[in-house]
Amino acid sequence: MAYRIQRIPSAPPSVALAARGLAIVLALVTAGIVLAALGFNPLALGWQVLRTTFGSSYGLEDVGLLVIPLIFTGLAVAVGQKIGAQNIGAEGQFYAGAFAATGVALFVPGPMAVILPLMFVAGAIGGAIWILIPTLARAYADVNELITTLLLNFVATLLVYWVATGPWLDPSGRALATTARLPHEVPEFWGIVHWGLPVAVVVVLLVGALFAFTRWGYEVRIAGSNPQAARYAGMPFRRHLIMVMLLSGAIAGLAGMFEVAGTVHRLQGGISNNFGYLGIMVAVLARASPIGVLPAAALMAIILNSGIVLQTQGITVSTVLAITGLILFYTAIGDELARYRIVRA
């Protein structure tokens, strides 16, 4: 009896979860073999990572801080993918949101109950403004947003470096290449983890509901899967594209706002730590699902924190990056293979 391999539109949740778990295990085994070849004890290193990450509140708090910006940037990229747009500029929108929120905190007087919401709005507007030109260029001139959003990342990074070392430099002189400490900060609710974490989860749930249960979300999903069919059905593709891309930029801007107001408390160069680029990986692992961003961001945060632990044990940065890429590579393969099955010909 003959059999053939068939690709299905989406894997059952149980199969997808099992494939992802198996992929992570195989990636860790491969990484262990590589570390053993380099002269390290992989079992001892693995135990150290587990004990440091999950065996103490300090390790869990570090993961909690890392997951906040990853949720926002991953969600930003996933939102764009819903309509077929590839927002590679979450890094720049992150910086724009941090810049706008810092400007409000430093130069707008008022109580924290007023300023923090203003910083939230400013961060979202900053990210939306930063993606506005690529959005209009894509909507009205069909300019590829991959290039425009990517190039604006460097502009935003240099802008923040300039204000942090020039006009907004800490006047006290106690810190170099950074602004003064912000007078208003996002409160903490568990150790050093601030309220940005529950806000990020709420934003994910709201965006997920928006795409799943509203007519607008339905039309966006149709437009993303088949733009020609959406236009034929009378759906305003251009308007939906503009709204989705602006929403994507606003969400990435919120990542910058919470990072500067809740974690770093100062605007400085390099504040992003590549969270915008890592958000692309989160969105890919989540398969552009807003809800799927939560476990994908958690996995990425654990990987990043594990890399920090490995560096303290003498593992070079290059090796840590290679292990991280290996885990993501195996996971992506597992996600894709889960969509195939063997059937009778």
Tally DSSP H helices, then E strands, for the chain: 14, 4
Task: Quote the pTM value.
Answer: 0.92
**3-class SS of residue 273:** coil
Find the farthest-apart pair of alpha carbons in the chain and give their distance in angstroms, rounded.
80
Domains of the chain, earliest start first: 65-314 (1.10.3470)
Please classify residue 7 by burial: count the beta carbons closer than 10 Å to its beta carbon, then call 0-12 exposed, 13-18 middle and 19+ buried: exposed
pLDDT tens-place values along the chain, 345 residues long: 677 888 877 777 778 778 878 888 888 888 889 888 888 888 888 888 888 888 888 889 999 999 999 999 999 999 999 999 999 999 999 999 999 999 999 999 999 999 999 999 999 999 999 999 999 999 999 999 999 999 999 999 999 999 999 999 998 877 788 999 999 999 999 889 999 999 999 999 999 999 999 999 999 999 888 888 888 888 899 999 999 999 999 999 999 999 999 999 999 998 998 999 999 989 988 888 999 999 999 989 998 888 888 888 888 777 777 877 887 788 888 888 888 888 777
**Six-digit token string for 247:** 């929403």
Query: What six digits make up the tokens of 9?
Result: 């539109």
3-state secondary structure of 222: helix
Q: CA dist 160 to 109, 126, 177, 178, 269, Å? A: 22, 13, 10, 9, 6
Q: Which residues contact 323 (CB under 8 A, 6 or more apart)?
A: 31, 34, 307, 310
What pairing do the DSSP bridges indicate for beta strands 3-7 and 188-190? unpaired
